[in-house]
Amino acid sequence: MSKPMLVTLPVILLLLDFWPLGRISDFGFRISDLKNAVQHPILRRLLWEKLPFVALSLASGIITIWAQQNGGATVPAGVLPWYWRAANALVFYTDYLGKIFWPENLAIFYPYPRMQVWEFVCSALVPVLLSVLCIRRARVQPYLLVGWFWYVVMLVPVIGLGQAGMQAIADRFTYLPSIGLAIVVAWGLAGIASRSGFWRTAVSLGAAVWLSVCLLLTRHQLGYWRDNATLFSHALEVTRENNFTSYLMLGNTYWESGSLDQAAENYRCALQIIPTSKTVRYQLGHILLLQKKFEEAEVQFGEIARLSPEDAFAHKCLGYTLAEQSKYAEAEAEYATGLQLSPGDSILRNALVLVAQRAETAKTLANLYAVLKIRPTPEAHTEIAAIETTQGNYQAALVHYQAALQLKPDSPDVLNNLAWLLATCPEANVRDGERAMELAEHACTLTDFKQTMFVGTLAAAYAEAGRFDEAMATAEKACVLATAAGDQDLLIRNQELLAMYRKHQPYHEVAATNQPDPAVLDLADSPGKPVPTGP
């Protein structure tokens, strides 16, 4: 009773005054004599008593329209012209009628259909012809007039003339209007049943079968509502083409469940229907970022930036995808554009600094690789490995640390850095706890177990190998060394690691939970300078 579509109540009450109350059956009038009929005292009294309901309906209508317009739910006339809405309204009356009496292919969302001319004409004629029939039979079967126009009038607020949302029709809109059709069916069947005992039995049996079929159909329909994936997949199966909303919602559902490939597929289908949808392009772009498909993500964010040049976030996302492809100059240009549009964005400001650092690091790497071609040195391999580690290229870092170790087997720094990589790398195929222990023990032996960082690395290697008692004892030694050296930062760091080892957690497990989500777009971390790694 709180639905805004109940604004039609004053008209419904007038219909009930005609039948079954019979309050306006004492006089008749023709459409051509409507002015004189309105001046009739009985009708004027009936209209006057409806004024309070009219006032409530006007207030509800104004509030609803205002809320929809301010909430962005109203579809402007430029998108759906008025003449197009009026023509489709007749078709929708037929669609609703069909779904009430033959509830097949029901869906949570119905897009605007594409119809042939003959389909449109036939569908539009149905409500017109039924209206004429009910008016002509009004004196003999008044329930036909009341029931049919109950249905027609109550659907007016939701028939698409004042469109809110992109659905063509919605099953839920028939709850109150279908009461009118129920009136027609109930009194019509009662008239048939009153003819004889045979007809009474036939109507009773027919009603029982009809209700049983409805019960089975309801049970079947409920099965589609068990989860979002089933619900929107069914909507795509039973509705015609162009169901943009169902593709979007199905993509969101698959994304939430972690099925990124299926999510991307549905977003692409949605974009085939509405290529200018920024929402879908953002969703698809973020999916592609999660999948590290940066070239494809660049296409999506680039199109958003083209469609909405004033969208600072689009430039931020595009800059991120370009930076991940090492297109640093282009990324810097996009970040600069975004910062002009959103001067207070600290992430964009930091991104400009970071991308400049990454560009500088790329130059450094190029120079180091050039040095290796001329004369391989352990120092060059170590610097390259440190930079590759900070950029997440762990396999490349492993290769260069091993090359440096071959050239300089007793270098404590190389031993320590390689041990730390093998003990803590986020990628399982790189980690090797046993090998990390050997290297870290060698580094500690060479430095008489007096270097805090090297001892801490050994503790991490023990933890990765599952030897947590030794990891805890070694981490405690590292804390003692840090205290003796007055290095507060290393002391705090090793105390944190010691707490992890006491919980039987190796470093990589906790570190993995702290990895940023690419979709958040915190941008790339600064690679920093190549220095010895470890606690």
> Could you tell me the domains of the chain?
4-194 (no CATH), 418-520 (1.25.40)
pLDDT for the residue 289: 94
Tokens of 363: 């130059």
pLDDT for the residue 6: 86
**pLDDT, tens digit, 9 for 90 and up, residues 288-305:** 999 999 999 999 999 999
* pLDDT confidence bin for 174, thresholds 50/70/90: very high
Q: Are 170 and 21 in contact (CB under 8 A)?
A: no
Rounded Cα distance, 75 and 162, in Å? 8
- Could you tell me which residues are beta bridge partners of residue 48? none
CA 486 to chain CA centroid, Å, is 52
What is the residue-averaged pLDDT of the chain? Answer: 87
E strand residue ranges, 288-345: none
What does residue 176 show for φ and ψ, rounded to 5 degrees?
Answer: -80, -45
**pLDDT, tens digit, 9 for 90 and up, residues 331-363:** 999 999 999 999 999 999 999 999 998 899 889
Q: pTM for this one?
A: 0.71
* pLDDT confidence bin for 27, thresholds 50/70/90: very low
Q: Are 17 and 26 in contact (CB under 8 A)?
A: no
**pLDDT, tens digit, 9 for 90 and up, residues 36-92:** 666 678 888 889 999 999 999 999 888 888 887 776 555 554 556 666 677 778 899
Rounded Cα distance, 176 and 12, in Å? 11
pLDDT for the residue 2: 56
Q: Are 345 and 364 in contact (CB under 8 A)?
A: no
Assess whether pLDDT exceeds 90 at residue 223: yes
Q: Are 317 and 285 in contact (CB under 8 A)?
A: yes
Q: Are 511 and 424 in contact (CB under 8 A)?
A: yes
**pLDDT, tens digit, 9 for 90 and up, residues 419-448:** 999 999 999 999 999 999 999 999 999 999
Mean pLDDT throughout 91-103? 92
For 243, the 3-state DSSP assignment is: coil
Q: Are 288 and 303 in contact (CB under 8 A)?
A: no
Per-position DSSP letters for 397-460, written without gaps between them: HHHHHHHHHHH-TT-HHHHHHHHHHHHH-SSTTT--HHHHHHHHHHHHHHTTT--HHHHHHHHH
Q: Are 93 and 152 in contact (CB under 8 A)?
A: yes
